[in-house]
């Protein structure tokens, strides 16, 4: 019983979790997003399935500014990774996407009118 209580208070540091923690640190320390605007690993309903996003950063008005998809460093970022975050964005409607495996980081701005994303050199800082 006590072990079950303790286990619920700690996060297992898997390779993907390592990337997620570094992404959160990057968002707060480097890009100056308030920690209160960051939400981690929550469920979303996508068609008839329940999915979990890694990180979402909210704007002041509660709309979604950034979705972050984290992969373990051993996982290559590829079209499948971008398709995954794009599917999540059908529901979340974020203006910016970030994909990272801890070694490679990609940033995109959504072009909703033309149904595509435009790659950015860097993630915009908090304003």
**pLDDT per position as a tens digit, 72-113:** 999 998 888 888 888 888 888 999 999 999 999 999 998 888
Q: For the ranges 29-38, 57-66, 93-102, 112-121, which has the lowest average pLDDT?
A: 112-121
Alpha-carbon torsion 55, 83, 105, 112, what sign? negative
Average pLDDT (28-46) is 88
Alpha-carbon torsion 24, 124, 46, 101, what sign? negative
CB-based burial label for 95 (10 Å; 0-12, 13-18, 19+) = middle
Domains annotated on the chain, with CATH? 14-120 (3.90.320.10)
Q: How confident is the model at residue 32 (pLDDT cuts 50, 70, 90)?
A: very high
Question: Which pTM value belongs to this model?
Answer: 0.85
């Amino acid at each position: 019983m006590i072990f079950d209580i303790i286990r619920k208070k700690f996060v297992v540091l898997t390779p993907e979790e390592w990337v997620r923690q570094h992404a959160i640190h990057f968002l707060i320390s480097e890009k100056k997003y308030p920690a209160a605007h960051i939400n981690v690993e929550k469920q979303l309903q996508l068609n008839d399935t329940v999915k979990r996003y890694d990180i979402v950063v909210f704007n002041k008005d509660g709309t979604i500014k950034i979705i972050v998809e984290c992969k373990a460093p051993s996982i290559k970022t590829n079209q499948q990774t971008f398709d995954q975050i794009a599917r999540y964005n059908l529901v979340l409607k974020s203006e910016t996407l970030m994909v990272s495996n801890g070694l490679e980081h990609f940033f995109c701005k959504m072009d909703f009118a033309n149904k595509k994303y435009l790659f950015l050199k860097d993630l915009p800082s908090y304003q």
